[in-house]
Structure 1
Amino acid sequence: MKTIAINQYGSAEAFTMINMPKPEPQADEVQVAIHAFSLNPMDIAGRMGALSSPFTDLWSFPLVLGWDFSGVITKVGSDITSFKTGDAVFGSAAPAHAANNGTYGEFITVNTKELAHLPSGLSFDQAAALPIAGLTAYYGMKHNLNLQPGQKILIQGGAGGVGLFAVQIAKAFDAYVATTASANHRNLLVDLGADEVIDYHETNPATVLHDYDAVFDTVGDIDTGLKVLKADGQLATIAAQPTDAQQYDQQKKAAFQFTQGSSEDLADLAKLTINGQVKLTIATLPFAVASVIKGHQAIESRHTTGKIVIHVTD
């Protein structure tokens, strides 16, 4: 199979097209012919050698990166009962995968913990944009913060890959949503449902927001988030580790989020997308080394909005 891989850690220019053997499914896995995959900041960390165990436990060179994908099942393991050959699916690979078993290629094998059937009305490119960023936001809103209708939430970093999902999912949960972003993203976020958009270059959110029920932090500014919360509010962060002092600020709860999404969560996220409650902002590029290089450089520049999807096949 064709893969876009690296032979050493380093810059985005290190990617090259390499033919590698197809990964074969274990008893509890399926093999998927990939139709599309998306890029994540985690991919950049992997390329630069900045990830550690468990991500790197099975890695060697050449190395195929990537976790998010959509495609069609081509083989099923002997223990698989809920999926069959020919099923269109989307999902996320396990954190630790073999060197030839990332998503930057034509085939992948995965277990079914974070795998869902592709519903009618959702394209392969759209589905590939959902898993990691979408699940991170959905898990935060539903399971971690237990966001309820009418509650007020601040989403720090609303224009990023996870932030865009979080703003829309929070609105789908009927919350009042404030978010931080630069001024050039204001109109986009208002169109997606944000009730307040605060230009963090001009205004500290803690000076204008008070007594919020929840904060979802994607930028690592825990101190500001805690100042926005009411006395028994909750903060979940995906960008920093709270200090002891931050974890015990009055009755407030501050914790790093370990996302543990499921097939059911993916299915719910797909429904929100099909219903129009989650609108995807996607840049689609063809399956080529130049596309992956361009995508990595764009994410590293921190000027991307939404998701970058690599289209492999129809």
Structure 2
Amino acid sequence: MKTIAITKYGSADEFKEIDMDRPVPQENEVLVKIHAFSINPMDIAGRMGALGTPFTDKWSFPLVLGWDFSGVVVQVGSQITDFKVGDGVFGSAKTAHEANNGTYSEYVATDTTELTHLPNGLTFDQAAALPIGGVTAYYGMNHSLKLQPGQKILIQGGAGGVGLFAVQIAKAFGAYVATTASENHRELLKSLGADKVIDYHKESPADVLNDFDAVFDTVGDIDTGLKVLKPEGKLITIAAQPTKEQKNASFQFTHGTGKDLDALAELVLSKKIKLEIQSLPFSVESVVAAHKSIEGRHTTGKIVIHEEN
């Protein structure tokens, strides 16, 4: 099968097109013909050798990176009952996948922990953009923070891949949403429902916000986030490890499920989430360009790589 892989850790220019053996699904797995995959910041960390266990436990070179995908089931293991050959699906590959079993590829074999059916009306490109970024944000709003209508939340880093989801999901939950971003993202975030956009280059949220119920931190600025909370408020971060002194702060370990993906898909289909997607054709050049864009913080929303029609 055709893959876009690396033969050593390093820069984005290490990617090559390499023919590798197709992964073989285990009895509790499905094999999916990939139609599209998206690229996440953790992919960049993986390419640079900055991810440790459990991600790298089964890795060797050549290595196919990637987790998010959408496609069609072409084979099912003997224990699989909820999916059949021909089903459109989307989800996230196993955290600790084998070297030939990332999603920058024609096929992926994965269990069904974070897999669901592709609903009518959702495209393969849209579906591939949802899993890691969308589930991380949804898990934060729904499970970690248990956000309620009328509550006030600050989302630090609203224009990033996770932040854009978080702003829209928080609004769908009925919250008042403040967020931080650079001035050039103000209009986009306002159009997505943000009630207040703070240009972090010019002012600190701690100087203009107070008595907030929740903070969702995607940038690693826990101290500033804690300053806007009410005494019983809660901060969840996906970008730093809180110290013992930061008592109202917790790190989020995301454990997404197919039901979380279903909820995200419904929010997209009901137009409560607007996806910002840049779609590129399946090629080494596309993956290199995507990695460099994300690494240089030049990306708004998600970059999706899809097969040619």
Letter in 2 for 1:42: M
Match of 1:250 in 2: none
Letter in 1 for 2:97: H
Match of 2:170 in 1: 170
The DSSP-based 3-state class of the residue aligned with 2:50 is: coil
Match of 2:125 in 1: 125
1:97-122 per-position Cα deviation (integer Å, ceiling 9, x unaligned): 00000000000000000001000110
The alignment's C-alpha RMSD in Å is 0.5
Match of 2:7 in 1: 7
Letter in 2 for 1:103: T
Match of 1:299 in 2: 294
Compute the displacement of 1:303 (Å). Answer: 1.8
Match of 2:106 in 1: 106
Q: Tell me, in whole angstroms, the C-alpha distance in 1 between the residues paired with 2:257 and 2:158.
A: 24
Q: Tell me, in whole angstroms, the C-alpha distance in 1 between the residues paired with 2:271 and 2:300.
A: 19
The answer to whether the Cα contact below 8 Å between 1:72 and 1:87 also exists between their aligned partners in 2 is yes
Residue 303 of structure 2, aligned match among 290, 299, 308: 308
Aligned length: 309
Q: Tell me, in whole angstroms, the C-alpha distance in 2 between the residues paired with 1:273 and 1:24.
A: 33
1:43-89 per-position Cα deviation (integer Å, ceiling 9, x unaligned): 00000000001000000000000000000000000000000000000
Match of 1:153 in 2: 153
The DSSP-based 3-state class of the residue aligned with 2:159 is: coil
Gaps of 5+ in 2: none
Compute the displacement of 1:94 (Å). Answer: 1.2
1:215-247 per-position Cα deviation (integer Å, ceiling 9, x unaligned): 000000000000000000000000000001012
Q: Tell me, in whole angstroms, the C-alpha distance in 2 between the residues paired with 1:86 and 1:303.
A: 37
Letter in 2 for 1:238: I
Q: Tell me, in whole angstroms, the C-alpha distance in 2 between the residues paired with 1:210 and 1:79.
A: 52
The DSSP-based 3-state class of the residue aligned with 2:261 is: helix
Compute the displacement of 1:312 (Å). Answer: 1.7
Letter in 1 for 2:44: I
Q: Tell me, in whole angstroms, the C-alpha distance in 2 between the residues paired with 1:104 and 1:24.
A: 16
Q: Tell me, in whole angstroms, the C-alpha distance in 2 between the residues paired with 1:240 and 1:57.
A: 23
1:288 pairs with 2:283: yes
Residue 270 of structure 2, aligned match among 268, 275, 279: 275
After superposition, residues 170-209 of structure 1 pair within 5 angstroms as 170-209=170-209
After superposition, residues 201-280 of structure 1 pair within 5 angstroms as 201-247=201-247, 253-280=248-275
The answer to whether the Cα contact below 8 Å between 1:36 and 1:313 also exists between their aligned partners in 2 is no
The DSSP-based 3-state class of the residue aligned with 2:136 is: helix
The answer to whether the Cα contact below 8 Å between 1:43 and 1:66 also exists between their aligned partners in 2 is yes
The DSSP-based 3-state class of the residue aligned with 1:284 is: strand
Q: Tell me, in whole angstroms, the C-alpha distance in 1 between the residues paired with 2:176 and 2:36.
A: 34
The answer to whether the Cα contact below 8 Å between 1:138 and 1:269 also exists between their aligned partners in 2 is yes
Q: Tell me, in whole angstroms, the C-alpha distance in 2 between the residues paired with 1:91 and 1:258.
A: 17
Q: Tell me, in whole angstroms, the C-alpha distance in 2 between the residues paired with 1:219 and 1:312.
A: 32
Q: Tell me, in whole angstroms, the C-alpha distance in 1 between the residues paired with 2:132 and 2:175.
A: 22
TM-score (norm: length of structure 1): 0.98
Q: Tell me, in whole angstroms, the C-alpha distance in 2 between the residues paired with 1:196 and 1:137.
A: 19
Match of 1:142 in 2: 142
Letter in 1 for 2:87: D
Letter in 2 for 1:191: S
Gaps of 5+ in 1: 248-252
Identity over aligned pairs, percent? 71
Match of 2:41 in 1: 41
After superposition, residues 64-79 of structure 1 pair within 5 angstroms as 64-79=64-79
Letter in 1 for 2:166: A
Q: Tell me, in whole angstroms, the C-alpha distance in 1 between the residues paired with 2:11 and 2:222.
A: 30
Compute the displacement of 1:313 (Å). Answer: 4.3
TM-score (norm: length of structure 2): 0.99
The answer to whether the Cα contact below 8 Å between 1:68 and 1:132 also exists between their aligned partners in 2 is yes
1:2-22 per-position Cα deviation (integer Å, ceiling 9, x unaligned): 000000000000000000111
The answer to whether the Cα contact below 8 Å between 1:68 and 1:91 also exists between their aligned partners in 2 is yes
Q: Tell me, in whole angstroms, the C-alpha distance in 1 between the residues paired with 2:157 and 2:52.
A: 26
Match of 1:21 in 2: 21
Q: Tell me, in whole angstroms, the C-alpha distance in 2 between the residues paired with 1:10 and 1:303.
A: 20
